Structures are given as C-alpha cells and as structure tokens.
Amino acid sequence: MNIFALALGPVVAILFFFWVKDRYEREPLKYLLITLGAGVVSVIPVVIVEILWVHISYDISALTAGELTFMTFIEIGLTEEFFKALAFFIPVYWSKHMNEPYDGIMYAVAAALGFAAIENVMYVLMGGIPAAFIRAITAVPAHAMFGLFIGYFAGRAKFAKRKWAKPFLILTGFSIAVFLHGLYDLIAMWPYHRLAWLWLFPLLAVMVVSSLFLMRDARNRSPFKPAKDEFGRYTGYTVSGRPLSPKVAAKLGVEPRLPPEDFVPTESGQKPVLPKPEVRKQPAKPETKAAAPYFLDEYFKPIKEKEPTPPAPEPSTPRPTTPTEPGFIHESLKEPPAQQKGTDTPKDYSRPEKDE
C-alpha cells in the first residue's frame, strides 16, 4: 500500500499544482478525471507499439550510440508523446470546456500524468522505494512538462485567428515534447559514462523555467482575466467585457460590473492591451508681470543730482538805425578791425582823416 502511495503521490501533487495555477476559470474535476483516465488507457497502445520495435528488447549496453539515439527519440519519445497527445485531443480539445489557452495546459498535463501514473507504478514495483523517490523528482515532473508543451501550443492553436497557424502551432508543441522526451531518455540511458545521468538536472531546470514562463503567458491570454484601468487598478470586469465572477471579485476586493460603452474587449487567446494613461497637457503659463516694488527700494536707490536748467534767452530788440533813436552807435565809435599782417605800426583810426 505504501508503494502505491509513493508512486501516485507525485502525480496527485503535480496535478493539484497545475489546477491551483488555473486562477481565472478552473476546469471541472469531472473532465480532468476523464482526461486523466484517457492518459491511463494510452499506456496500452504504447506498450504494443514499443514491443514491435526491435531495439526495445535488446540490451542497452550492446547498442551503438546511433541505435540508442534512434530508440530514445523515435521508439520511445515519438510513440509515447503521440498517444498521450491523442488522450488529450480526443476527449476535450473540441469541447466547450476548453475556452481559454491555459485549459490546453491543464488537460494535456492531466493526460500526461495519467500515463506517468501507470509507468511510475511499474517502475516502483520493480525498483522499490529508491526508485519512487528518484522518479518523483525526475520522470514524473518531466512527463508533466512534456504534456505542458503540447498543451500550451494546442491552446494557442485553438484560438489562433489564422487557419494556417493552427497546424503549425500544434506540430511545434508536439515536436518540442518529442525532442525533450528523447533527450531525457538518452541522458538517462547513456551507458558509456556512469555520471551521465547528472545532466538530467540542468535539463529539468531549463524545462521548469520554460514551463513557468509558458504558464504565465497562457494565463495572460485568458478572456477571464480581470481588466485593469490605465492606473493598474482592477475594474470589476474581465478583458473580454464580462463581469467578474463573485469569487474572483471578492478576492480582488472589487464589485462585479459591466464595462463602459467605449471599452474594447479582448478576444480569447490574445493578450490584453492596457489603456495608456491620458497625458494631460499643462496649461500655458501666463505672462509674468513685473513684480511689485518693495517698499524699501525707494530708500536704497542712489540719489541722482539734478542737472541745472539753462537760463531762458533774453528777447532780442531791433537795432537802432537812425541817430535820433536811443542806443544808436556812430560808426566812428565802433571797434577797429583786426590788424593786418605785414604792417609794422598799427593805424590809428581814432583820429579823423584829413582831406588832401
């Protein structure tokens, strides 16, 4: 009984982790169990096909590097991922319950964990408790992440607008899962070096980081994601224009309501674009007026000396022209003209000249 608990415990824990991460619209437990059961059933065709392959029955140490690579990538990786993908696509891919991109991750992981549960029980029964602990941190999480890559791209494909992108995305996710599965088995089965299996931990670390990134991106594309305003505050409705569910609204501390009339909804599978905050133009600054003079400025200004005003010109009187008018000056009393150059003695003009 303890062996089965150790084998199935990691499966339940990982499935619960992915279910909790489905924040906006969690899937019904009924359909998760159906997909999980489909993954369990997928073990049967996988075993049949792998028995038909020749190299599966050979001793690994007797295989060449090329034969081992073909066995891990084609005989194991391709076969197992193909039937696990069918366990995901057939029951739920075209169902109405797969209504957001994260649902692809949720159902594909459930199908992968159904397959991993049976495989883990078989290995734990053969290897005991040590095998249970080792596979709990390696093989079981790896199977879940292989399914995650298929489910993420399948979820993107279902809500893609362009038809040619749908098969391309599905094939991309499936190819990534097959490659990672084959690489994981190649490292785990490499017989030419005893410590080659330690390379599994860097590979798992890269897969974990990539898986967390894809999970976050799938949630951001959900039509049930709460919308935010230009200031980053929750509005009470989803990015698709629907009121929030009471549980989500209560968790976020808002009231469910309808969006405004000018709200542009986001389609499923597309990332919402947050509205940009309005840039308010600052009013033009008024022209600065001269500052009022300080009342002490008058006391500190230098005193300017007043320029003297010129005297007013005296009124001119007409010159008397006749001897009878007062102020008449006789010609003989006028000042003598300036002395001419070249004369030795000045001429006396004060005496009247005699007639010759």
How confident is the model over 111-140, as pLDDT tens digits? 999 999 999 999 888 888 888 899 999 999
Q: What is the pTM of this model?
A: 0.71
Has residue 274 got a pLDDT over 70? no
Phi and psi at 233, nearest 5°, equal -100, 145
Tokens of 307: 């320029």
Of residues 329 and 342, the one with the higher pLDDT is 329
C-alpha–C-alpha distance, residues 312 and 318, integer Å: 19
Tell me which of 170 and 289 has the higher pLDDT.
170
pLDDT at 153: 95
Mean pLDDT score across all residues of the chain:
80
Rounded to whole angstroms, the Cα distance separating 84 from 215 reads 20
What are 266's two structure tokens? 């986001």
**CB-count exposure of residue 234 (10 Å: 0-12, 13-18, 19+):** middle
SS3 content of the chain, % helix, strand, coil (to 5): 55, 5, 40
Is the pLDDT score of 43 beyond 60? yes
Q: What is the pLDDT of residue 100?
A: 86
Angle at the Cα of 72 from the Cα atoms of 69 and 73, rounded to 5 degrees: 80
pLDDT given for residue 107 in this prediction: 94
Structure tokens at 155: 């979820």
177 pLDDT more than 60: yes
Return the residue matching tokens 């549980």: 247
Q: Rounded distance, CA 15 to CA 164, Å?
A: 32
First-to-last C-alpha distance (Å) of the chain: 179
> Cβ of 211: how many Cβ atoms within 10 Å?
20
Calculate mean pLDDT across residues 242-257. Answer: 80
Which residues, 6+ apart, have CB-to-CB distance to 47 below 8 Å?
A: none
For residue 217, give the nearest of 147, 151, 168 by alpha carbon. Answer: 151
Which residue from 187, 185, 153, 173 is spatially nearest to 77, judged by alpha carbons?
A: 185
Indicate left, alpha or beta for 135 from its phi (over 0: left) and psi (-120 to 50: alpha).
Answer: alpha
